[in-house]
Structure 1
Amino acid sequence: MKKILTALFITIITITVSAQSKLEQDRQAIKALPGFYKVTFNYAETFAPDTAYKFHPRYNSWGYEWAVIEEDSPKKIVIQHLLVVGDSMIIKHWREDWLYEEPTMLAFDKGNTWNKVTLKPADVKGRWVQRVYQVDDSPRYESIGTWVHVDGRHQWQSETDSPLPRREFTKRSDYNVLRRGNRIYLTPEGWMFEQDNKKIIRSESGDKLLAQEKGYEEFTKTDEAKFAYAKKWWSDQKRYWADVREVWDGVFAGTNKLTLNQKVDGKLLFEKLFELGDQSVKEKWNSAKNREEAGKVIKAHLAS
């Protein structure tokens, strides 16, 4: 009996250590994503069920982007991306939150509507939810997947619905949902965001496939010196945006369905929040003032 109990104890310890090791491997892979990068964007439509469909031109672009960790706790890592344009223009870009074994997600429907869904414990065990936010910290899409570490390769993948990508949002209206097949993997030079996407027409009668596309966003490490102005700009702005995130957290916690109005008084949500950020820095607002002013703007854009 003693030998059996000892063997059982050793087995439990081994399993625990193994689980901790896997979790730490996951965390280290996620923490490898921040850095100073040149990013190339390449997308091409590859297939359409309708033979009369005319493929749209390929999309190719590039830019400089700094991704910085804003929060690092055992089961949550927040990474903010900042786009650098020239020597003195910074755009607060997308944000990604990584949450371990997170039981709830916001699922994109269509239009500007997201629905909160609750996942089963078996479906979240050992897995990470990646929450991706717009430039104004409103929701974009969320998905869940498992980090895999094998043969020196570190990879995470998932599939989820999202709004149209920014590169097509103002140019196309022939589809209304992008079903993203996301694959993130580390490379010797940085990391790759590979996509196998489906452009979906969603209506009351169901989903119809318009076209498929392949996408590659390659993040290649570059000279940190290019980002000196970005560091200064973000050091001034980061407290304001932390307060904006806190306002959004309250919104997400208090609703099971979120619908946003695109424009209020002729302005988009990001335009108003960006203006407030500059005003906050100029007038040296405290966090209470930041939350109050940002809260008014966000509330105005929530559809009743």
Structure 2
Amino acid sequence: MKSPILLSAVLAWALAAAPHLPAAPDDPPADPDPPAAKAAKRAGAVRSMTFGWPFLDPEKMKVRGGTTAGAEVTLATEPAEAWTRLQETDLSPMEKDRRAILAMAGSYRVSFQFIETMGFTEGYHPSRPYFSWGTEEVRVLEDKERFISLQHTLVMYFKDKDGNESEPMVMKHWRQDWRYEDADLHTYRGNNRWRRAMLPRRTVEGRWTQTVYQVDDSPRYEALGTWKHTHGMSTWASVLSWRPLPRREFSVRDDYNVLECAHTITITPDGWVHTQNNRKLSVHAGMETSCLAREFGINRYERITAPDLTAPADEYYASTGAYWGHVRETWANIYRKYEQFQLRSSYDDRKLYEHHFGYAAELMQGGKKPKIPPRKHARETINAFLVIPGRENRKAPGSQASPSP
């Protein structure tokens, strides 16, 4: 097996923020080679997006996203075993829910599509639609009766201009935790702040929360929702929840600061589909909250049999899994201990994920032990970014600088 690409390449890829692979190129070559021709055909299909704006200048509504070419994939032709198990009769409602959640594990080609559908500001013009795709492995980190944790990992095989395939690039992606009848939530309140929200027992009865974490295991959002299994279809639908701007937005937008979302997850025979109904909010203390636009998103997880995503991911977690376990443990302690907290955007001119990914890259190199033990590094790094009301600033491991808000 080819060795996975990591170290500086991972950090560079993380800065790109998502699997920005063959999106619609602005000017496809006049006489493309076969791989480029296939990408161009895909791009043409993307331009005709559902809920598009048919009377606007197409040049101003070109799909944005990435343009890198990825390796071809082989889609699964048979329903997944998890889908078959989900169709069994005489299951309790809770077991039906659990099997639907576990059915999200596997290897996938993932596509991400977003488009604004309406606006609420004077002179509104929709932002350009967004499309990207990647190949992603979803593995079960933990499976208990009332708790399931799923780790997403991007594993990409790139192609250069000559069609040569690279070694796999591996990057730990987002994580989702599912809790049954969870009454203790930490919800996003804007300005990089999260606050505990306790729900009545009658509100959470028979329902699941989905908690989503960033690539560095810091919090993103938590939402309560209900699984429904009717007519052979299993769908989880959430209530409205706030979340920070997604990576596809915060690098290009500064006119809103909160994404309010109600979303669904639906299991299919060949994977699953995640839809989002988003509201782009401007939220500031002492001012009335305003909605700039509404957006619809659809992310499709299509199960694949090739290329192999599991072996490169296994190799990555063999070296870094214990460290990421310490990171999760540190965050779990923070959730238990604090009613509210805030995160600094950077420390020592680096983002939180850069500190974590840099350390994980050292672990991948092997050889001598790192200067700072994994548990200590995880705890001190997170504490350097953490802002707790009434608590003095902390320093990151090996740092001499003062943290900036």
Pair in the same fold by TM > 0.5 = yes
1:1-304 mapped onto 2 (5 Å cutoff): 21-86=92-157, 87-158=167-238, 159-204=240-285, 205-227=287-309, 228-281=311-364, 282=366, 289-304=373-388
Alpha-carbon offset, residue 251 of structure 1: 1.2
Q: Which runs of 5+ in 2 are unaligned?
A: 1-88, 158-166, 389-405
Alpha-carbon offset, residue 218 of structure 1: 0.2
Task: Give the Cα–Cα distance (whole angstroms) in 1 for the partners of residues 121 and 387 of structure 2.
Answer: 36
Q: How many residues align?
A: 286
Judge which range, 20-29 or 226-235, deviates more.
226-235
> Could you tell me the TM-score, scaled by structure 2's length?
0.68
Query: Cα deviation per residue 1:56-89 (whole Å; 9 max; x = unaligned)?
Result: 1000111000000000000000000001222321
Alpha-carbon offset, residue 230 of structure 1: 2.4
CA RMSD of aligned residues (A): 1.8
Q: Please say if residues 276 and 294 of structure 1, whose CA atoms lie closer than 8 Å, have aligned partners that are also in contact.
A: no
Specify whether residues 198 and 45 from structure 1 end up closer, same or farther in structure 2 by C-alpha distance, changes over 3 A only. Answer: same
Question: Hey, which bits of structure 1, 4+ residues long, moved more than 3 A?
Answer: 283-286
Higher strand fraction: Structure 1 or Structure 2?
Answer: 1
Alpha-carbon offset, residue 278 of structure 1: 2.4
Task: Give the Cα–Cα distance (whole angstroms) in 2 for the partners of residues 109 and 285 of structure 1.
Answer: 40
Higher helix fraction: Structure 1 or Structure 2?
Answer: 1
Q: Secondary structure at the match of 1:237?
A: helix
> Could you tell me the TM-score, scaled by structure 1's length?
0.90
Aligned identity (percent) is 37
Task: Give the Cα–Cα distance (whole angstroms) in 2 for the partners of residues 236 and 69 of structure 1.
Answer: 18
Letter in 1 for 2:357: F
Judge which range, 234-243 or 33-42, deviates more.
234-243
Alpha-carbon offset, residue 19 of structure 1: 11
